Structure 1
Amino acid sequence: MKTRTLLMTALTGALIFPLLQACAPVVVGGAAATGTAVAIDRRTAGTMVDDQAVELKTLDAILSDKELYEQTHISSTSFNGLVLLTGQAPRAELRERAERIVSAYPEVRRVVNEITVSAPNSVMTRTSDTWITTKVKTLMFAEKDFNGNNVKVVTENGTVYLMGLVRRAESDKAVAIARQVKGVQRVVKVFEYID
C-alpha cells in the first residue's frame, strides 16, 4: 500500500512537472498565458497526454513485475510515441523483458532501449543525474534564439539523452549546450527531425 501511495505521488508529479517547465520561460519573461505548454510544444495536446499516459502505464507495468521491481532501476520517458528506456538491470533478460512490456502498448511507436546490464546506480549517482538535467535545461532556457521546450532531457549515469521534435540546427545547438555542463560524460540524440 505504501509503495502504491508513493508511486501515485511520483506519477502525479510526473504529470504536472512538464507543464510547469513549459511555463517557466513565460513566467520569467513576465508574461502569463493559458495553455502555454500546448502552445509552445510541437506535439499536439493529445500526443502530450498520450506521452504522459504511456510513461505512467509503463512505469506501473514495470513496477508490477516483481523481479523487475526488486532487481532493476528503470525509467521510461515518452516523447511523441517514442519511448526511451534508461537505467540498469543486472541481467540482459530483465533488460529485454522491460522492453517487451513497453513495446506492447499500442501508443508506443518505437522503443529505444538504453538500459545497461549492471547493478542499479546509487542514490548519489541518481541525484547527480537530476542535477545535470536541471543544469542542461536551465542553459537551454537561457540560450537566446533557442526554445528549450522543444527538447526533453534525461540523464542516466552521466549520459544525457536529448529527445524531441527538432530541426537539425536545433539538435546541434542542444548537443552543444549539454556538452557545456560539468559532469556530462556523453550526449545521445534520440531526436525526431522535422526538416
Structure 2
Amino acid sequence: MTRSTFTPTVLRWTAALAAALSLSACAPLVLGTAVGGAFVATDRRTSGMQLEDQGIKLKAANRIRDALKDRGHVNVHAYNRMVLLTGEVPTEDDRAAAAVAAGQTENVSGVVNELMVGLNSTISSRSSDLLVATKVRATLVDARDVMSNAFDVVVERGDVYLMGMVTEREANRVAELVSTISGVRRVVKVFQIISEDELARKLPRPASPAASESSTQP
C-alpha cells in the first residue's frame, strides 16, 4: 500500500491554493485577517476600524478608477487607515495620480505607493504570486512564535508586502521567516510599530479562575 507523502504544511498550501483559484483571476492576491467569524477576535484593530478600512479600500479604489479610467491594474489595500497600492500603471503620471486619488480619500492617514510603471502582470505571474501567498500564510501559521492573524499578506510580482500593528520584534521575525520562502523576491514591511506594552493591552485577557467557576454554576 502506498503511503501519502503530503505534510500538513503542503496540504494547507494545496487547500488554500485550490480555494483561491476558484475566485476570479483578477482578484487581488491578498491573504490576511478576515472581517467576520473567529478572525475578528484576533485582529488587533477594533471592529470599527476593520469596517472603516473596508470602506477606505472601496472608496480609494473608486477614486483611482475615476482618475485612471481603464489604464493599468491597481490593487488597493488598507490597514488601520494606511493605504498600500500595488500593481502596474502605464506612466509615471498615472502612478502619481493614483497616489493622489488614494490620499484624498476620507480618513486615509498615509499612502505607500508601490505601483510599478509597465505592462499589466500576466495571469501566469498572478498565479505564481498566489502560490507564494499561500506559502507565506502557511509558514506564519506553522511558526510557534508569531500570531499569524496579526498580519495581512500582499504578494505582487514576487514581492511580499506585510501589513499590521506589530512590535519591532514581531516585524523582524516575520520578515526573517518570509525571506526564506522560495519564490519570494523581496520583503517590504508596511507595519505600524507598537510597543510590547501596547501589544499586551491589545491581546485578549485570560479568564480569571473565579469567572470560569461562576460560569459553570447551574
Q: Which TM-score bucket, shorter chain as reference?
A: 0.7 to 0.9
Instruction: Please tell me whether residue 48 in structure 1 is matched to residue 50 in structure 2.
Output: yes
CA distance in 2, matches of 1:124, 1:179: 22
Structure 2 alignment gaps of length 5 or more: 1-22, 196-218
The residue type paired with residue 151 of structure 2 is V
- Superposed CA RMSD in Å reads 2.2
Match of 2:62 in 1: 60
Task: Normalising by structure 1, report the TM-score.
Answer: 0.79
- Retained in 2: the 8 A contact 1:175–1:187? yes
Give the C-alpha shift of residue 18 in structure 1. Answer: 5.3
Q: What does residue range 23-38 of structure 1 map to in structure 2 within 5 Å?
A: 35-38=37-40
- Retained in 1: the 8 A contact 2:74–2:86? yes
Which stretch of structure 1 is more off in the superposition, 99-108 or 157-166? 99-108
Q: Deviations over 1:41-95 (max 9, x none)?
A: 1111111011111112222333344xx3422011110000000001111100101
Does the C-alpha gap of structure 1 residues 137 and 123 become closer, same or farther in structure 2, counting only changes over 3 Å?
Answer: same
Give the C-alpha shift of residue 135 in structure 1. Answer: 1.0
Higher relative contact order (CA 8 A, sep 6+): 2
The residue type paired with residue 60 of structure 2 is T
Q: What does residue range 83-98 of structure 1 map to in structure 2 within 5 Å?
A: 83-98=83-98
Q: What does residue range 4-153 of structure 1 map to in structure 2 within 5 Å?
A: 21=34, 35-65=37-67, 68-153=68-153
Alignment partner of 2:113: what SS? Answer: strand
- Retained in 1: the 8 A contact 2:82–2:110? yes
CA distance in 2, matches of 1:72, 1:90: 6
- Retained in 1: the 8 A contact 2:137–2:153? yes
Q: Aligned pairs, how many?
A: 169
Alignment partner of 2:114: what SS? Answer: strand
Q: Which runs of at least 4 in structure 1 moved beyond 4 Å after TM superposition?
A: none
Match of 1:184 in 2: 184
Alignment partner of 1:70: what SS? Answer: coil
Does the C-alpha gap of structure 1 residues 176 and 18 become closer, same or farther in structure 2, counting only changes over 3 Å?
Answer: closer
The residue type paired with residue 91 of structure 1 is T
- Seq. identity, %: 34
Does the C-alpha gap of structure 1 residues 99 and 22 become closer, same or farther in structure 2, counting only changes over 3 Å?
Answer: closer
CA distance in 2, matches of 1:107, 1:131: 33
Which stretch of structure 1 is more off in the superposition, 171-180 or 71-80? 171-180
The residue type paired with residue 108 of structure 1 is V
Bigger-Rg structure (1/2): 2
The residue type paired with residue 180 of structure 2 is Q
